[in-house]
Copies of this chain bind each other. A is one copy, B any other.
Amino acid sequence: MLVNGKQDNLISIRDRGLLYGDGVFRTILARQGKAQHWLLHYQKLQQDCSALNIPCQDFALLSTELDRLLTQHPDGVVKLIVTRGQGTRGYAPPVQATPNHIWSVSPCPDYPVDRATLGIKARMCQLLLSHQPRLAGIKHLNRLENVLAAAEWNNSESHDADIAEGLLMDEQRHVIEGTRSNLFLVSQGKLITPDLSRCGVAGVQRDRVMAWAAQHNMPLQVRDVGLDEVMHADELFLVNSIINIWPIRELEQRCWSDFPITEKIRHELNGQNK
């Protein structure tokens, strides 16, 4: 763990990240001492900081720190948090912010390997995402909606170990994303992914799939998607930087068993990870 470049695992209780969730973060997979798609993650970090008007640390500094971290922990889930730092009391951000940045590494989750090939069981969450265009797309630290959604099938009363992810709709019943992943539909040979301009988090892996589609002339639409369309898709898959790509084999009584296009994209994106 590194806090502002120093070995540490503590932060001030006056940090605005704690007080208000006033910050952003990235979750990055490290394999054999290499942080996958670090440049893309840095670019997103920069965008997200800019959207909240938080000064972002520069690439060279963060890259140096990341290298130090990876020397000690070559494999794991690397998390980078940037907060607006401390300020005077009150919501108004300080005019001259001194951001804090925090690195931590956790062991790679031991997901069953066949999730990538056989697919996962997913559920629809009851919680509906709220619309906040000013925060949509940003991976910020206000994540209570995700916490409440994940609690729906992970708490003691309703634990279902077979369910690997929950899908979230907004108040207009558009399907937006998974609690920790982005969603793609394959329908009649084209890709569709929900519009994230009012809610949701736009992940790096989603960008990679979109870039792949553009390079391979595969039609891709970014737009509102209803539940009915999701249930009738030819294939569904979820992406994030840790799981990479998981097809959905079961969602609320509907089952899928073939994922040819998901499989193709997975192989090609995996190739880029090497």
Interface residues of A (CB under 8 A from B): 1, 3, 8-22, 25, 52-53, 77, 81, 83, 89-93, 95, 102, 104, 106, 109, 127, 130-132, 134-135, 140-151, 154-156, 159, 171, 179-180, 199
Contacts and interface: CB of A to CB of B under 8 A. Distances in A.
Nearest to A25: B19
B143 A20 contact: yes
A106 B130 contact: no
Nearest to A154: B92
Contact of A9 (B8, B13, B155, B171): B13
A144 B10 contact: no
Contacts of A25: 19
B22 A1 contact: no
Contacts of A15: 18
A180 B102 CA distance: 29
A128 B154 CA distance: 32
Contact of A144 (B127, B142, B155): B142
A17 to B, nearest CB: 5
A11 B25 CA distance: 18
A21 B106 CA distance: 20
A144 B135 contact: yes
Given A21-B21, A53-B151, A130-B130, A91 B14 contact: no
